[in-house]
């Protein structure tokens, strides 16, 4: 379903350039729950940005569900992404002038999905499912980091995308909330969605079907582990 072939990413600032990703190849199947782990600076966010089409690879290809994502123009890419991928950014990227409710409604508006009333209802349900029922009408600056994170997760689900990608989605949460959010991702996997999560947290990473370890821009030998079904 997701195929990366020889993906290389080089950031250059004129003088120096070193590859953030170095000929990365792997496949991810539909409905898999993947944990991407690795030290800070190893290339995890770069990998996720390229997988989601937020960033273009310097070389190599990304194919998702038959679409050669790495070859799409930015306009087509934006449209494709809105329908296919829910993204939770490491820095949330919530719009500060919109309430949490309006932030969650935005992707549905972009996709022209349903009536305004239906969008509002779905946004409310999603915010409730991440424990933000009481915070819907607050602005991002008036809620905690953990609450912003949960709002970003609710927003990523707005268009019911088949693939969810999240960069350190539990990084700002205490262990109880992190557990709750991880369970939410697991239930999405149970619904048949493909979930790819970058995480520092080993305890959470082992709950994934499979982990990909990134080191110096390369994937180490995969440590495969069956997810315990409880």
Ligand X SMILES: Nc1ncnc2c1ncn2[C@@H]1O[C@H](COP(=O)(O)OP(=O)(O)O)[C@@H](O)[C@H]1O
Pick between residue 41 and residue 222 the one whose CB is nearest to ligand X.
41
Pick between residue 99 and residue 211 the one whose CB is nearest to Mg ion.
211
∠ CA 98-139-131, rounded to 5°: 110
Alpha carbons 146 and 155: distance in angstroms, whole number: 14
CA 203 to the chain's CA centroid: 19
Pick between residue 45 and residue 211 the one whose CB is nearest to ligand X.
45
* Interface contacts to ligand X, rule CB under 6 A: 11, 20, 38, 40-46
Alpha carbons 59 and 36: distance in angstroms, whole number: 21
CB of 136 vs ligand X, minimal distance in Å: 31
Q: Pick from ligand X, Mg ion, none: which does 19 bind, CB < 5 to 8 A by kind? A: none
Q: Pick from Mg ion, ligand X, none: which does 156 bind, CB < 5 to 8 A by kind? A: none
Let me know: does 212 contact 37? Beta carbons within 8 Å: yes
Pick between residue 79 and residue 218 the one whose CB is nearest to Mg ion.
218
Closest by alpha carbon to 182, among 88, 42, 50? Answer: 88
Pick between residue 105 and residue 208 the one whose CB is nearest to ligand X.
208
CB of 139 vs ligand X, minimal distance in Å: 28
Q: Does 45 bind Mg ion (CB under 5 A)?
A: yes
Give every CB contact of residue 88 below 8 A, 6+ residues apart in sequence.
Answer: 149, 152, 153, 156, 164, 165, 166, 167, 169
CB of 25 vs ligand X, minimal distance in Å: 17
Q: Pick from Mg ion, ligand X, none: which does 20 bind, CB < 5 to 8 A by kind? A: ligand X
* SS3 (DSSP) at 145: helix
Q: Pick from Mg ion, ligand X, none: which does 11 bind, CB < 5 to 8 A by kind? A: ligand X
105's tokens: 């409604």
Residues of this chain that interact with Mg ion (CB under 5 A) are 45
């Amino acid at each position: 379903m997701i195929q990366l072939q020889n993906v290389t990413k080089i950031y250059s600032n004129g003088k120096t350039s070193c590859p953030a990703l170095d000929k990365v190849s792997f496949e991810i199947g539909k409905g898999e729950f993947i944990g991407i782990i690795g030290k800070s600076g190893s290339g995890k966010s770069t990998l996720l940005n390229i997988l989601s089409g937020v960033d273009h690879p310097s070389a190599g290809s990304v194919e998702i569900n038959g679409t050669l994502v790495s070859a799409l123009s930015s306009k087509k890419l934006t449209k494709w992404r809105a329908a296919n991928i829910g993204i939770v950014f490491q820095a949330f990227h919530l719009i500060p002038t919109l309430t949490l409710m309006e932030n969650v409604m935005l992707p549905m508006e972009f996709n022209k999905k349903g009536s305004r009333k239906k969008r509002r209802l779905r946004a409310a349900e999603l915010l409730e499912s991440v424990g933000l029922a009481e915070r819907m009408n607050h602005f991002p600056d008036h809620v905690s980091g953990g609450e912003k994170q949960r709002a970003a997760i609710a927003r990523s689900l707005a268009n019911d995308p088949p693939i969810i990608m999240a960069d350190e989605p539990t990084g700002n949460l205490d262990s109880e909330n992190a557990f709750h959010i991880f369970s939410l991702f697991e239930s999405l996997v149970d619904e048949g969605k493909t979930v790819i999560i970058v995480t520092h947290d080993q305890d959470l990473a082992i709950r994934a079907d499979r982990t990909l370890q990134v080191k110096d821009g390369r994937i180490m030998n995969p440590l495969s582990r069956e997810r315990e079904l409880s």
